[in-house]
Amino acid sequence: MRIQPLGDSAIILDFADESSDAIELLKRALSAADALEHANIPGVIEVTSAYQSVALFLDLNRIASMVSGRSIADFLHEKIVSLVRSKGHRSKIRTRSVEVPVCYDIELAPDLARVADQTSLEQSEVIALHSSVIYTTACIGFMPGFPFLTGLPAKLHVPRLATPRTHVPAGSVAIAGAQAGIYPLDSPGGWNLIGRTPVRLFDTDANPPSLLRPGDRVRFRIMTRDEFDKFLP
């Protein structure tokens, strides 16, 4: 684990040197984030995790008031290293499974035909492959509630669009390179759109506001156009 500053008021714990396996790195990041979040370290405002790293955002003023005669870096180092290194927390990741219904109707999937062409698959095969696997939510980012999903079958790896769309509708189910994702909100975007879900991925009135959290397992369930149109969130 490498501890690096992210500016003067945050630090990043990077686990890249601990494994060459992406899934193992994600597990380490998730368990460290979990341990650090539950430790409620005074002066730590929030904890986030990504593919192989964890970030701690700090209230420097608060921390400085607790540090006497030591540097802030030393103080944090001690607190964090012992927490992350302590045995026992690694098995404690809570894995949730979330099923996301997706309608692959061509009207809701503007790039499905092209993805089929590019991958030399039938459209039905693209759909079957995309909905056949269990994905893992590596992190949430790019926009509120947007899940970066790992586990996309290799046959479906296609590059992102050369020119991003200026408008991607909320709920669009998308793939780009080795990743899968879902656009929670209307936005610009450059991923290939192969379906749409009627489920809300981000809702400021919900607690938490994001349907998915880092570490969540995700499976796509095929829904018909009729089910999609009648879906009541």
Partner 1 sequence: MIVLSAGFQTTVQDCGRFGFRKFGVAVAGALDPVSLRLMNLVVGNDQAAAGLEIASGRVRLEFDDERLIAWCGGEFEVLAGGTPVPQLHCARISAGAICEIQAKRGRAWLAISGGIDVPEVLGSRSTDLRAHFGGQNGRALRDKDTLSLGAPNALAMSIGLRLTEAVSDWSAPLLFMPRPVLRIVRGGRWDDFEDGVRAKFLARKFRVAMNSDRMGLRLEGDQILSAKAQELPSEAVAPGTIQVPRDGGPIVLLGDCQTIGGYPKIGHVITVDLARAAQLQPLDEVGFELVTLAEAQELLLAQESNIALFRAGLQARFA
Least distance to partner 1, CB of residue 126, Å: 26
What are 157-162's contacts with CB under 8 Å, separation 24+? 158/115, 158/118, 158/119, 158/192, 160/190, 160/191, 160/192, 161/111, 161/190, 161/191, 161/192
Closest to partner 1 by CB, 111 or 216: 216
104 lies in the binding site for partner 1 (CB under 8 A)? no
44, 55, 112, 168: which one binds partner 1 (CB under 8 A) = 55
**Would you list the DSSP string of 108-150?**
G-TTHHHHHHHHT--HHHHHHHHTTS-EEEEEE-SSTT-EEEE
52 lies in the binding site for partner 1 (CB under 8 A)? yes
66 lies in the binding site for partner 1 (CB under 8 A)? no
7 lies in the binding site for partner 1 (CB under 8 A)? yes
User: How far is Cα of residue 52 from the mean position of the Cα atoms in its chain?
Assistant: 12
Three-state secondary-structure class, residue 155: helix
20, 154, 204, 233: which one binds partner 1 (CB under 8 A) = 204
Least distance to partner 1, CB of residue 142, Å: 6
Q: Using an 8 Å Cβ cutoff, are 80 and 3 in contact? A: yes
Stretch that binds partner 1, among 11-19, 86-94, 129-137, 224-232 (CB under 8 A): 11-19
Binding stretches for partner 1 (CB under 8 A): 4-10, 12, 14, 16, 22, 33, 45-53, 55, 57, 60-61, 64, 71-73, 139-146, 148, 185, 187, 202, 204, 208-210, 213-214
